[in-house]
Amino acid sequence: MIWCVEDDASIRDIEVYALNSTGLAAEGFADGATFWQALQKTQPELVVLDVMLPEIDGIELLRRMKADAALREIPVIMATAKGAEYDKIQGLDLGADDYLAKPFGVMELVSRVKAVLRRCRPQPAAVLRCGGLVVDEQEHTVTADGVRVVLTYKEYQLLRLFLSHPGTAFTRDQLMEQVWGMDFYGESRTVDMHIRTLRQKLGVYGEHIETVRSVGYRWRAQP
């Protein structure tokens, strides 16, 4: 169930209708207090949360959700007024998974909801291999020829992405979106720095990370 928290009835009705029409069950809430009361009884799969709400605004509701162990894992997409840069950044810093800038189209709403659900739904654990390099997604460990390789979280996510798509060339923007997410504000050289340290830590296996000129990086597929 997707919950849409929006005080404008016309926008709320459109959001709920659009989601229901694409097979996503949705329910609307007109204010923050009603939404918060409902959260104490049941939990949605995702929340589309407007920033400007009567009684309790969206930023405060998001803050409360992230402070509650029972609610903090619920994905949240913030809906902000166009140009409201501070609200967008504040929401992302508090843990929002994505944002929508008003006015937005229904297809964008549906696409972003589906994208966040894909990212947040638990995936079956797997073991990724490339010769003697092993990534255990259950244990979140990396070993090279039986020796543990200590990686940072971002380095681990980069390696996991490469091994999951051998031979696929990723642009720096794609890597930033996939690994750092929508809440990352930085420069492409951040990717280059992480790739350099990842190569060093992987030793001979680091040679599998190839630089694709004018594109980005890829993991060289084994013959």
- CATH number of the domain bearing residue 212: 1.10.10.10
Total count of domains within the chain: 2
Question: pLDDT confidence of 95, banded at 50, 70, 90?
Answer: confident
Query: pLDDT tens digits for 22-38?
Result: 999 999 999 999 999 99
Same domain, 100 and 142: no
State what percent of residues in the chain have pLDDT above 90: 67
Assess contact for 97 and 52: CB atoms under 8 A.
no
Same domain, 115 and 176: no
Assess contact for 158 and 119: CB atoms under 8 A.
no
Q: Return d(Cα 113, Cα 108) in angstroms, integer.
A: 8
Phi, psi of 150 (to 5 degrees): -90, 115
Q: Which of 53, 56, 61 is nearest to 96 (CA)?
A: 61
Alpha helix locations (H) across the chain? 9-21, 32-39, 58-67, 85-94, 106-120, 153-164, 172-175, 189-202
Determine which of 60-64, 68-72, 88-92, 184-188 has the lowest per-residue pLDDT on average. 184-188
Query: pLDDT tens digits for 153-206?
Result: 889 999 999 999 999 999 988 888 888 775 445 556 888 999 999 999 999 999
Query: pLDDT tens digits for 126-163?
Result: 899 999 999 998 888 999 999 999 999 889 999 999 99
Looking at 65, 100, 120, the residue that finishes a domain is 120
Rg of the chain (C-alpha set): 20
**Structural domain boundaries, residue 24:** 2-120
Is residue 83 over pLDDT 80? Answer: no
Q: What is the pLDDT of residue 3?
A: 97
Q: Return d(Cα 137, Cα 12) in angstroms, integer.
A: 39
Assess contact for 5 and 47: CB atoms under 8 A.
yes
Tell me the average pLDDT of the chain: 89
Same domain, 143 and 108: no
Same domain, 140 and 205: yes
Same domain, 97 and 25: yes
Looking at 85, 120, 155, the residue that finishes a domain is 120
Assess contact for 100 and 76: CB atoms under 8 A.
no
Same domain, 131 and 175: yes
Same domain, 131 and 193: yes
Beta-carbon contacts of 2 under 8 Å, excluding residues fewer than 6 positions away, are 19, 24, 25, 26, 27, 44, 45, 46, 47, 48, 113
Q: What is the CATH number of the domain that holds 51?
A: 3.40.50.2300
Phi, psi of 165 (to 5 degrees): -135, 60
Question: pLDDT confidence of 44, banded at 50, 70, 90?
Answer: very high
Q: What is the pLDDT of residue 138?
A: 82
Q: What is the pLDDT of residue 32?
A: 93
Same domain, 44 and 90: yes
Beta-carbon contacts of 57 under 8 Å, excluding residues fewer than 6 positions away, are 32, 51
Question: pLDDT confidence of 94, banded at 50, 70, 90?
Answer: confident
Q: What is the pLDDT of residue 183?
A: 47
CB-based burial, 151-183: b 16+ in 10 Å, e otherwise: beebbbbbbbbbbeeeeeebebebbbeebbebb
Looking at 120, 152, 174, the residue that finishes a domain is 120
